Amino acid sequence: MAVNATPIETLVEWTRSHPAYTYAVDATELTPNGMVNSAFAIAYDGRVPVETIHVLAGNGAGSTVLWRGGDRVTVRPPGLLHVVSIGMSVRDPRLLSPRKNDLRNAIFSRVADCIAAHAEAVRVERSGAVETFTIRDPGGVHCGAEDGDAAVTLDRVTVSATDEHPLMRERFAGGTLVERWVMRDLHVGPT
């Protein structure tokens, strides 16, 4: 990374330097019926690409979803049916989060690329051990096919100011928090 790199360039470089990682996430999403909580264990390797999500808590707990690029996934349902693999569309409504995001939303390099694509609209703030990247667009913040909710007007990503690893992603519709992903137990794989 160049000595005079911008914070956004440094963030993108972190994702390129760490293409393989695992982490756990506690997710909260606002629905018309209130907040929905889920927990996931996520493994991603951008060199292949392959992403595996184990649903630890919430809707579909016990399921495993495997994505190998493209628009298809393999799903292993919970319980005794876990031995069965079912092929589905990555955008199948049964696999989407309550706010219609698909599993590619958990790929941090896609999030960093979104921030870079909106660089002119990003506000970067550093406070102690964290750095935040905030995209605000009253017309809607939409980064790719993985994003489902057109009502999101602010997307804020918090990373470690020490090494740029992800800590949290929050998305708002107007002034209302509609999604929060808190990342923990990050393990970076070999590069």
**pLDDT tens-digit map of 156-189:** 999 998 888 899 999 999 999 999 999 999 999 8
Q: Per-residue pLDDT averaged across 143-155, rounded? A: 78
pLDDT single digits (tens) 61-87: 999 999 999 999 999 988 877 788 999
Give the pLDDT score at 93: 85
> How would residue 2 be classed by pLDDT, with cut points 50, 70 and 90?
low
Question: Which span out of 108-112, 138-142, 145-149 was modeled with the highest average pLDDT?
Answer: 108-112
- pLDDT computed for residue 81 by the predictor: 76
Contact 61, 79 (CB under 8 A): no
pLDDT at 49 over 70: yes
Task: Please state the rounded mean pLDDT for residues 1-28.
Answer: 88
DSSP type of residue 93: T
Looking at residue 117, what DSSP letter applies?
H
Strand residue runs (E) in the chain: 20-31, 34-45, 50-57, 64-67, 72-76, 86-89, 122-127, 130-136, 154-160, 166-173, 176-188
3: confidence class by pLDDT, cuts 50, 70, 90? low
- CATH fold for domain 7-184: outer membrane lipoprotein receptor (LolB), chain A (2.50.20)
**79 or 11: which leads in pLDDT:** 11
Tally Cβ neighbours within 10 Å of residue 172: 20
Calpha distance 83→170 (Å, rounded)? 35
The owner of tokens 């018309």 is: 32
Q: Where are the domains of the chain?
A: 7-184
CA-to-CA distance for 146 and 106, rounded, in angstroms?
9
pLDDT interval class at 134 (50, 70, 90): very high
Q: What percent of the chain lies above the pLDDT cut of 90?
A: 60
Q: If you average pLDDT over every residue of the chain, what do you get?
A: 89
DSSP lists the bridge partners of residue 87 as 74
